[in-house]
Amino acid sequence: MGYPSVERRRVLAAAALGREAAAPGPGPEGGDPLHAVTGEILDVSPHLIAIETPDGRQERLVIAPWATAWHGGDVAPADLPVHATVLMRALRDGKVVERIWADTVRLTGTIVSVEGRKDVTVELDCGPHRGHRTIVIPYRATGRLRVRHPQFEPGFLFDAIGIRKDGATLALLPATSQPAYPARAVPPPPPSYAGAQSRISGTVTWSDVFDAQERGAAYPMVERSDAGCPDAGVSCAALPYLAIGSLLQVQNVCANRSAVVPIVACGCVAGRFCDRCVECGTSPRGRIAELSPASYVELGGDLVNGCFNAQIGLG
C-alpha cells in the first residue's frame, strides 16, 4: 500500500480514541488575520505589486504606505528587482501588503567544510531529507556571522539568513547564536517531571525547504522508525512524541496569534539547536518546531528575525 495521506491518520486516530478530528487553521485571537502570499514579481511600483503565484495565476496587490521590504537589507518596495521570488505578509484578505521578503533563504545545518579566505564557501549538511547545500558568505558579512558562530569548523551547527542571488546562496545575517556543542552532542532535556505538561514553551523558527505555499511544521520528536529519519527524536526541550500528520497548536507569544498546523516533516536539524529566542523576552531553551515560511508569516513572525517565542499544545 502507498504512503497514506496525513489527514487519514488524523481521522483514524480521532476515531480510535473517540476525539473529534480537529482541522488546521488560524486561532481566534490576534485580530485581523494575516495572509502569506508567495509569487514572482512581474512588476512593482511604489503603490502596486503584480506577481505570478506558483500555480500560475497573476495577482495585483496594493502596497500599504507603511510597507517595508527586505532584500539582503531594508529596501523600498519599489526598488525590488523584477523576477525576484517574494513572500509577502498581507492584510485585508490578502490584498494589502505590509511586509515583503524577496529571495529570502534560511541556511540551517551542520558545517561539513569551510573553504576560502575572503568570500567563504561553506558546505552544510541539512539533515537526511534535505541533503547538502553549498553557501557563500560574502566578505562584508563574514565578521557579522563569525561573531555569532565562534566555532566555525566542521561538526558544529550553523544557522543564517540570506538571499538567493545569481544562482548562488549568500548568507548575510546570523539567525541565532551558535550552540557551543558539536551537532552530535545535543544536551539532554532537563529532568523535569511535573506530570503531564499542558503547554511547552520554546523557540519556533522557519525553514525554506517547504513547498512555496505549504502550511505545516517540522517537528523534532517523532519516532525514528515511523518517519524513516535516523536523526529524529533528539531535542533539548522536553517534547512529547508526535507523528507526521498530528496537529500542533502553535502560539506566537510575541504577537499573540495562534494557529493549528499539521506536522509534515521530521525536524531533525531543528532538534539539534538548544538555543533561545530573544524576540520578546527570553524563551526557554530548545526549538520546538520549525514552520514553513507561509505558516511562520501568518503567525506574525518576521523572516529576518528568524524566530519567535512560542508555546505549543496538541491541536
Partner 1 sequence: MTRVLASQVPVLIVLLVLGTVAKISVVRSGREPGALARLGPAVLMPGRLQRPSLLVCAAGELVLAVGLLVSAHPLFRWGTVAFFALSTYVLLELRRRRPDAGCGCFGEVSSAPVGLRSIGRTVVLTGMALMAVWAGAPGWMAFAHPAWGFTLAGVAVLAALSPEIDELVDRARHRAPCEQRRGPQEGVSLARLKSSGPWRAHEADLASAEPYDSWRELCWRFFAFQNHERDDVVFAVYLAGRRPAVRVAVVSAESLPEYTTVSA
**65 or 195, CB closer to partner 1?**
195
Give me the least distance between CB of 204 and partner 1, in Å please: 16
Give me the least distance between CB of 7 and partner 1, in Å please: 8
**12 or 82, CB closer to partner 1?**
12
**245 or 271, CB closer to partner 1?**
245
**88 or 237, CB closer to partner 1?**
237
**12 or 147, CB closer to partner 1?**
12
**16 or 56, CB closer to partner 1?**
16
Instruction: Give one word for 56, left, alpha or beta, with left for phi > 0 and alpha for psi -120 to 50.
Output: left
Query: Using CB under 8 A as the criterion, which residues of the chain lie in contact with partner 1 when the complex forms?
Result: 1, 4, 8-9, 11-19, 21, 189, 191, 193, 195-200, 221-223, 225-226, 233, 238-246, 249, 313-315
Give me the least distance between CB of 207 and partner 1, in Å please: 22
**14 or 114, CB closer to partner 1?**
14
- Alpha-carbon distance of 194 to 217, in angstroms, equals 26
Residue ranges of E strands in the chain:
25-26, 35-44, 48-52, 58-70, 74-75, 85-91, 96-102, 104-115, 120-125, 132-137, 157-165, 168-174, 200-206, 217-219, 247-252, 257-266, 287-291, 307-314
**144 or 224, CB closer to partner 1?**
224
Query: Distances in Å between the alpha carbon of 22 and those of 13, 290, 296?
Result: 11, 21, 20
Give me the least distance between CB of 157 and partner 1, in Å please: 23
Residue with grid cell 573553504, as numbered in its chain? 115
- Contact assessment for residue 288 and residue 314, using Cβ atoms and an 8 Å cutoff: no
Strand 257-266 versus strand 287-291 pairing type: unpaired
Give me the least distance between CB of 235 and partner 1, in Å please: 10
Give me the least distance between CB of 199 and partner 1, in Å please: 7
Give me the least distance between CB of 202 and partner 1, in Å please: 14
Cell of 232: 529524529
Cα distance between the two ends of the chain: 28
CA 314 to chain CA centroid, Å, is 19
Vertex 256 angle, CA 294 and 212, to 5°: 0
Give me the least distance between CB of 242 and partner 1, in Å please: 6
- Alpha-carbon distance of 123 to 135, in angstroms, equals 6
